[in-house]
Chains A and B, each alone.
Chain A
Amino acid sequence: AQTVTQSQPEMSVQEAETVTLSCTYDTSESDYYLFWYKQPPSRQMILVIRQEAYKQQNATENRFSVNFQKAAKSFSLKISDSQLGDAAMYFCAYRHPQGGSEKLVFGKGTKLTVNP
């Protein structure tokens, strides 16, 4: 079974600085997708970024980028120029596109605090 591990329960960063959140996963598949979701105190789950395993190029979305290391099964999220609004729980997630197994598997999350 696929598992997703986020080893940092909590992280903090100064406003305008850069922070990297770690995520590793376990799978025997070669074709899959990885996601980062953000959950602010409002509890809404918001998609931050998505990565296809078959793409070597790391995904970027404005201030958010990933470092995808397929061989190491690592998928870290970098937030540049951190803003107060980035404070939230961040969840790493894995999805395998196979019939009967399309569920999204989540890590336990990392709570990010942004200090002014």
Chain B
Amino acid sequence: EVQLLESGGKLVQPGGSLRLSCSATGFAFSDYAMSWVRQTPGKGLEWVSSTSASTANTYYADSVRGRFTISRHNSKNTLYLQMNNLRPEDAGVYFCAKDPKRNPVGTFEYWGPGTPVAVSS
């Protein structure tokens, strides 16, 4: 059974940094692309970033490019999202999601329960 579990969300001040983690079990993590999707009060569901299985290719939404970095540690079956220079509009629930292919195709096959991020002074 595919299981994804995010962690690392918390309250941070504007301009602060945070690293989210997503632990994966139940499938061959190193064979699949992975993504982060967030749900915010302002924009609803919003794709944030994706990485290919090998990390050779990474993709970002315009709203986070230059501030967020997606990475993965395949031997630890873990996906990460490093978030810098956080803004109030970045607040929401962050989900990690599994793609059905080695390269991101934009289908979010399985999701974790999410981790909440709050950005406020």
Decide whether A and B assemble into one complex. no
Query: Which residues in B have some Cβ–Cβ distance to A below 8 Å?
Result: none
Query: Which residues in A have some Cβ–Cβ distance to B below 8 Å?
Result: none
